[in-house]
Each structure stands twice: as structure tokens, then as C-alpha cells.
Amino acid sequence: MNLDELYQEVILDHYKRPRGAGLREPYEGESHQVNPTCGDEITLRVHVDGDKVADVSYENVGCSISKASASVMYELVNGSTVDDALARLAEFTALMNSKGQAEGDEETLEDAVAFAGVSKYPMRVKCALLGWMAFKDALVRAEASIPGRTDA
């Protein structure tokens, strides 16, 4: 197995210097996700302003893959529209389920294409998706708390 393919420089960089870490106010939705097989955890908050994801803040413990993935996700969705964020979520999920067959679109996924190699390791896909699952759940909660936006 090629370790470099899994632990790309960009992944190790996000792991060592996570972007956007820490829990912040205000937020409308919060989610706590756990990976029961390894005990990795994340608490993630979403602040929605109009049609924008105005802030994503989080606290997590876990492996390099799960921590780097949350950091990369922060960069991708923070400040984007809710619709774009959901599109990135769908794209990243598809990449993770590709079993090594997809490369990911660098135009849209940016640093997250570095996780393409992770999709070859079924035991690690859940690590990469943990933060995204928390984002999805927190967004649903946030939208539910905003009048007129219960269709998300």
C-alpha cells in the first residue's frame, strides 16, 4: 500500500494546522457525531445568514483523516451559499464512496480532492465523512429553526 497516497501533504497540513477550529456563537444548528468503532468525535455548529453559511465552527478529537477532513470542509463551505455547500457535500460523499475510482473535481472540491486516496480504504471512509455528516445534520437543524426554510 502506498502511504503517501493516503497521507497527502495537504491532509497532514490540515491535520497539523486545522482551519476554523473551535466552537463559536452565534449558531442555529449544532450536531454531535461519534464514530463508534474508534471513538472519534466531533461537535459542529452552523450559523446560517439568509442563504449563506455564515460560520461553521467545530471541536473534534480523532485521527488525521477525520480532523483534516473537517478542516478542509470548513474552507469549502464556510461563507458559501447553503445550496453550494450541499452540492459540495454530495460531491465529497460521492468521492468517498468511489472505492478509488474517482479523482474529484479540483475546481469545486479544492483541497478535498486530496481525500480521493482515502476512498480506497473502506475502514477510513467513515473518518473522512464524520465532519461532513455533522455539517449535514447541523444544517438541517439550523434550517429547521429558521422560519420558511424547512425544506432543506
Partner 1 sequence: MEAVTKLDVDAVRADFPILRRRIGDRQIAYLDSAATSQKPVQVVEAMRRFTEHSNANISRSVHTLGAEATEAYEGARARVAAFIGAPSADEVVFTKNSTEAINLLAYAFQNATLDPHADPRFRLAPGDEIVVTEMEHHANLIPWQQLALRTGATLKWIGITDHGRLDLEAIPEVITERTKIVSFTHVANLLGTVNPTSQITARAREVGALVGLDASQSVPHLPVNVAGLGVDFIAFTGHKMLGPTGIGVLWAKADLLDAMPPFLTGGSMIKTVTMEKTTFADAPAKFEAGTPPIAEAVGLAAAVDYLDGLGMENVRAHEKELAGYMLEKLETVDGLTIIGPRVPIGRSATVSFTFEGVHPHDVGQVLDSEAIAVRVGHHCAKPTCDRFGVNATTRASAYVYNTHEEIDRLVEALGKVRKVFG
**Sign of the C-alpha dihedral, residues 10, 79, 33, 95?**
negative
Q: Are 55 and 80 in contact (CB under 8 A)?
A: no
Q: Please identify which residue in 19, 59, 80, 121 interacts with partner 1, judged by CB under 8 A.
A: 121
Q: Please identify which residue in 41, 59, 84, 110 interacts with partner 1, judged by CB under 8 A.
A: 41
Minimum CB–partner distance for residue 18 and partner 1 (Å)? 13
Q: Please identify which residue in 29, 53, 62, 82 interacts with partner 1, judged by CB under 8 A.
A: 62
Stretch of 25-33, 36-44, 72-80, 105-113 contacting partner 1, by CB under 8 A: 36-44
Minimum CB–partner distance for residue 43 and partner 1 (Å)? 14
Stretch of 5-13, 25-33, 82-90, 138-146 contacting partner 1, by CB under 8 A: 5-13
Residue (53 or 127) nearer to partner 1, CB: 127
Give the Å distances, CA to CA, from 151 to 50, 122, 139, 144: 14, 32, 11, 8
CB atoms within 10 A of CB 52: 15
Q: Please identify which residue in 45, 47, 88, 124 interacts with partner 1, judged by CB under 8 A.
A: 124
CA distance 17 to 14: 5
| Preceding amide of 18 cis, omega within 30 | no
- Selection from 149, 119, 135, 107 nearest residue 46 by Cα: 135
Give residues in contact with partner 1 (CB under 8 A).
1-3, 6-7, 12, 37-41, 61-66, 121, 124, 127
